[in-house]
Amino acid sequence: MVHVTMTVNGNAVTGEVEGRTLLVDFLRDDLRLTGTHVGCDTSQCGACVVHVDGLAVKACTMLAAEADGAAVATIEGQANADGSLNVIQQAFQDHHGLQCGFCTPGMVMSAAALLMENPKPSEAEVRDYLEGNMCRCTGYQNIVKAIMAASGQDVATVSVA
């Protein structure tokens, strides 16, 4: 067993994990933060995206022990302090950037990482950044609109690509 300590959504947490325990499993099973989804177990879908020390990471590709000492942010930590949706979450709701919702946590976390890196991305940059996230419902059109809206840009020109 490996002892891990990290900060998750601003809270210090510790745990004992097997060396092979994935970060996604530690978050979901040990910490009961089930918003981070397991969609493929092969790093294809992006449903498990979290931020580790400010970087977007697919939690199914990282061992919990590798996150020892890190600051981890999950979808549960994205809401505003009063519990209301943050600007990205609200834009997803306003622009119908979700349907079944399975991919939504990973999409929101990826969008947040993109907007931290590039506060005013072009539509092409949004589409390129989301290449590692799969949505089987929406066709990405409204997801791109939501991210563009969250960045404060006009969504009327978003193409149907």
Contact 121, 114 (CB under 8 A): yes
Task: State the total domains in the chain.
Answer: 2
> Residue 22: inside a domain, yes or no?
yes
Give yes or no for residue 41 having a pLDDT over 80: no
Q: What is the mean pLDDT of residues 45-55?
A: 96
For 23, other C-beta atoms within 10 Å of its C-beta total: 28
63 and 91 fall within a common domain: no
> Residue 82: inside a domain, yes or no?
no
114 and 69 fall within a common domain: no
The confidence band for 48, taking pLDDT boundaries of 50, 70 and 90, is very high
**What predicted TM-score, i.e. pTM, was given to this entire model?**
0.93
70 and 107 fall within a common domain: no
* 154 compared with 109, residue with greater pLDDT: 109
Instruction: State pLDDT tens for residues 3-17.
Output: 999 999 999 999 999
Percent of the chain scoring above 70 in pLDDT = 99
69 and 100 fall within a common domain: no
Instruction: State pLDDT tens for residues 117-157.
Output: 999 999 999 999 999 999 988 778 999 999 999 999 888 87
Q: How far apart are CA 27 and CA 4, in angstroms?
A: 12
> Residue 158: inside a domain, yes or no?
no
Please identify which residue in the block is written with the tokens 């929406």.
138
